[in-house]
Amino acid sequence: NAGVTQTPKFQVLKTGQSMTLQCAQDMNHEYMSWYRQDPGMGLRLIHYSVGAGITDQGEVPNGYNVSRSTTEDFPLRLLSAAPSQTSVYFCASSYGQGGNQPQHFGDGTRLSIL
């Protein structure tokens, strides 16, 4: 059981480039989310999805797009990379939202924007 798989693990981009961070889960979880983690700060929610075809914005959505065409996959797209988007990105999934549903996290993608 792979859990939550994120690719790539590391990436260096130049300002203005675009890229997609991949996230896949094999637990048939309905709820998926993307966070960024910056030094000295907690994880901040970028976007989330409560099921296939449904996405919504989190706390820091600007500069990012998401889509959820299948239950398994939830890619995060950087439209035009900026140095402020240098961060570690985590994808998480859970069976549902609210209540007692533990979140399962991937190992993260470390992204540097030059």
Partner 1 sequence: KQEVTQIPAALSVPEGENLVLNCSFTDSAIYNLQWFRQDPGKGLTSLLLIQSSQREQTSGRLNASLDKSSGRSTLYIAASQPGDSATYLCAVQHPDNYGQNFVFGPGTRLSVLP
Residues of the shown chain interacting with partner 1 in the complex, contacts defined by CB under 8 A: 4, 33, 35, 40-45, 48, 50, 56-59, 90, 92, 97-100, 102-103, 105-108
Rank residues 28 and 42 by Cβ distance to partner 1 and give the closer one.
42
Shortest separation between residue 87's beta carbon and partner 1, angstroms: 14
Shortest separation between residue 19's beta carbon and partner 1, angstroms: 20
Reference 20, options 51, 52, 66, 53; nearest CA is 66
Distance spanning both ends of the chain, measured CA to CA: 36
Beta-sheet strand order (sheet of 4-7): 4-7, 19-25, 76-78, 64-66
The DSSP annotation for 32-78 comes to EEEEEE-TTS-EEEEEEEEETTEEEE-SS-TTEEE--SSSSB--EEE
Rank residues 1 and 102 by Cβ distance to partner 1 and give the closer one.
102
Shortest separation between residue 20's beta carbon and partner 1, angstroms: 19
Rank residues 74 and 90 by Cβ distance to partner 1 and give the closer one.
90
Rank residues 17 and 44 by Cβ distance to partner 1 and give the closer one.
44
